[in-house]
């Protein structure tokens, strides 16, 4: 792979970066200040044949257009919303991603967030640390997770793994996807609105597309209601964030747990002041084990491409 010029868009994983540096001709995009990126790309375009991006910076149309020799985009993520797939199709650029290896971690997080939110684990932790247990007495009662109806928006790899885990907690499962899955007995709803009206905990696990942008809107949030819990482990723009905040403040929605946000890493400060939310910094796949497996998939895909072998996890 020494001859392969690879553009890495962000410092996403030290192991991946070291291996790319060792095996390829590596270009680090972030080392060039934003104002000089265009010049940097233009200067190195003759050498760059691959882009490795992630859920934060992928390969947008501008980057793709600046790289006439680009052959492959190997994303260090399963979500491809930061890759201009239409442009890649037009140009015949191959696209790979990292499905399956991160499914368990993302599903674990969805369940962890659901329990943390209903049982108020983070708030209870703050109560103990502040000395309030001794000073003010026992912590308030919370709501149970076991047995609550879990609604899953996007019953794909991660959604199914969430369902399997939630079943073990005795939770009835229902879901909405564009297509009904004939292999499961979970209750299917034709719309997200119907789903929201029939579950206690709504877990968002679909990809970000034009169709799913703000799929969690005013109507869906109101339907989920004052006792409902929203858990977003998909992508931030699935949720109309200002609407979510108003609903939480006004008590129109019970609680929310968010791993992803509309404008990461900027998070509306109002959320910091709310006790009925649990916030994590986009860590769905962020374990040593999974990130190593994702890095190995990126490297394996690039190697397969160079050797003209079948790609390990092709998307396009
Ligand atoms: P997947 O296997 O492709 O599953 C996606 C599911 O969403 C499918 O069931 C699909 O079914 C459904 N879907 C697609 N478009 C939809 C729409 N318009 N309305 C309703 N449902 C729709 O993907 P996955 O591996 O489970 O990953 C799902 C997403 O999770 C990724 O795209 C990524 O954005 C996110 N993710 C986040 C983290 C994190 O760190 N928080 C980590 C990993 C992944 P139909 O095609 O039948 O609609």
**Catalytic residue (one of 219, 264, 275, 289):** 264
CA of 91 to the centre of ligand 1 (A): 25
* Amino acid 79: pLDDT: 98
- Are both 117 and 255 inside the same structural domain? yes
- Are both 20 and 74 inside the same structural domain? yes
* Amino acid 230: pLDDT: 99
- Are both 48 and 122 inside the same structural domain? no
How far apart CA 272 and CA 224 sit, in angstroms, is 22
Return the residue whose CA atom lies nearest to atom 1 of ligand 1.
Answer: 156
Task: With CA atoms as reference, report the closest residue to 116 among 201, 37, 183, 190.
Answer: 201
- Are both 269 and 126 inside the same structural domain? yes
61 lies in a domain?
yes
- Are both 40 and 129 inside the same structural domain? no
* Amino acid 25: pLDDT: 97
- Whichever domain contains 53, its CATH number is 3.40.50.720
The reply to whether ligand 1 has any atom less than 6 angstroms from the CB of 155 is: yes
**Residue in the structure block whose two tokens are 């006792």:** 227
Catalytic residue list contains 235: yes
The reply to whether ligand 1 has any atom less than 6 angstroms from the CB of 151 is: no
- Are both 152 and 9 inside the same structural domain? no
- Are both 44 and 149 inside the same structural domain? no
Task: With CA atoms as reference, report the closest residue to 227 among 200, 266, 249, 206.
Answer: 200
CA of 119 to the centre of ligand 1 (A): 27
CA angle 45, 50, 51 (to 5 degrees): 95
* Residues whose CB falls within 8 Å of the CB of residue 199, separated by 6 or more in sequence, listed in order: 149, 150, 151, 174, 224, 228
Q: How far is CA 28 from CA 8, 31, 65, 82, 172, in A?
A: 5, 6, 18, 18, 47
- Are both 234 and 86 inside the same structural domain? no
- Are both 45 and 144 inside the same structural domain? no
The reply to whether ligand 1 has any atom less than 6 angstroms from the CB of 259 is: yes
DSSP-derived 3-state class of residue 107: helix
202 lies in a domain?
yes
68 lies in a domain?
yes
Return the residue whose CA atom lies nearest to atom 4 of ligand 1.
Answer: 156
| Token pair of 169 as six digits | 């907690």
Task: List per-residue pLDDT tens for the chain, 316 residues long.
Answer: 889 999 999 999 999 999 999 999 999 999 999 999 999 999 999 999 999 999 999 999 999 999 999 999 999 999 999 999 999 999 999 999 999 999 999 999 999 999 999 999 999 999 999 999 999 999 999 999 999 999 999 999 999 999 999 999 999 999 999 999 999 999 999 999 999 999 999 999 999 999 999 999 999 999 999 999 999 999 999 999 999 999 999 999 999 999 999 999 999 999 999 999 999 999 999 999 999 999 999 999 999 999 999 999 999 9
The reply to whether ligand 1 has any atom less than 6 angstroms from the CB of 174 is: no
Q: Checking DSSP bridges between strand 201-204 and strand 48-52, what pairing results, if any?
A: unpaired
Mutation probe of ligand 1 site: the residue of 206, 210, 231 with most atoms within 8 A of C-beta: 206
Sign of CA dihedral 219, 223, 228, 233: negative
SS3 helix, strand, coil % of the chain, rounded to 5?
40, 15, 45
Q: What is the count of structural domains for the chain?
A: 2
CA of 191 to the centre of ligand 1 (A): 15
Task: With CA atoms as reference, report the closest residue to 23 among 296, 308, 275.
Answer: 296
The reply to whether ligand 1 has any atom less than 6 angstroms from the CB of 207 is: yes
* Amino acid 105: pLDDT: 99
311 lies in a domain?
no
CA angle 199, 202, 206 (to 5 degrees): 130
- Are both 146 and 189 inside the same structural domain? yes
Q: Is residue 112 within a helix (H) or strand (E), and if so which, with residue range?
A: helix 103-118
80 preceded by cis ω (within 30°)? Answer: no
How far apart CA 291 and CA 71 sit, in angstroms, is 24
* Amino acid 1: pLDDT: 87
Please report the atom of ligand 1 found closest to the CA of residue 260. 41
- Domain encompassing residue 34: 5-99+288-306
Sign of CA dihedral 30, 18, 207, 85: positive
How far apart CA 266 and CA 237 sit, in angstroms, is 13
- Are both 70 and 124 inside the same structural domain? no
- Are both 72 and 109 inside the same structural domain? no
CA of 222 to the centre of ligand 1 (A): 23
């Amino acid at each position: 792979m020494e001859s392969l010029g690879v553009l890495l868009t962000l410092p996403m994983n030290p192991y991946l970066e070291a291996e790319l540096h060792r095996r390829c001709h590596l270009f680090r995009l972030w080392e060039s200040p934003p104002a000089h990126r265009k010049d940097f790309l233009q200067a190195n375009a003759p050498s760059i044949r691959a882009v490795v991006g992630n859920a934060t910076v992928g390969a947008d149309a501008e980057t793709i257009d600046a790289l006439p020799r680009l052959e492959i985009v190997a994303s260090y993520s399963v979500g491809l919303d930061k890759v201009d797939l239409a442009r890649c199709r037009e140009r015949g650029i191959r696209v790979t991603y990292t499905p399956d290896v991160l499914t368990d971690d993302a599903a674990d997080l969805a369940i962890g967030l659901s329990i943390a939110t209903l049982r108020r684990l983070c708030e209870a932790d703050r109560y103990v640390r502040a000395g309030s247990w001794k000073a003010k007495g026992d912590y308030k009662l919370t709501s149970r997770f076991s047995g609550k109806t879990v609604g899953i928006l996007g019953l794909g790899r991660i959604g199914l793994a969430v369902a399997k885990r939630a079943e073990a907690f005795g939770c009835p499962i229902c879901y909405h996807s564009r297509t009904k899955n004939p292999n499961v007995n979970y209750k299917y709803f034709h719309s997200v609105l119907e789903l929201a009206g029939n579950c206690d905990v709504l877990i968002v696990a679909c990809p970000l597309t034009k169709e799913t942008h703000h799929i969690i809107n005013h109507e869906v949030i109101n339907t989920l209601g004052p006792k409902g819990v929203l858990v977003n482990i998909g992508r931030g723009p699935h949720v109309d964030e200002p609407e979510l905040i108003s609903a939480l403040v006004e008590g129109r929605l019970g609680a929310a747990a968010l791993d992803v946000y509309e404008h990461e890493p900027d998070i509306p400060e109002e959320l910091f002041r709310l006790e009925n939310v649990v916030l994590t910094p986009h860590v769905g796949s962020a374990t040593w084990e999974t990130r190593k497996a994702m890095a190995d998939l990126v490297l394996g895909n690039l190697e397969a491409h160079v050797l003209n072998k079948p790609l390990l996890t092709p998307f396009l």
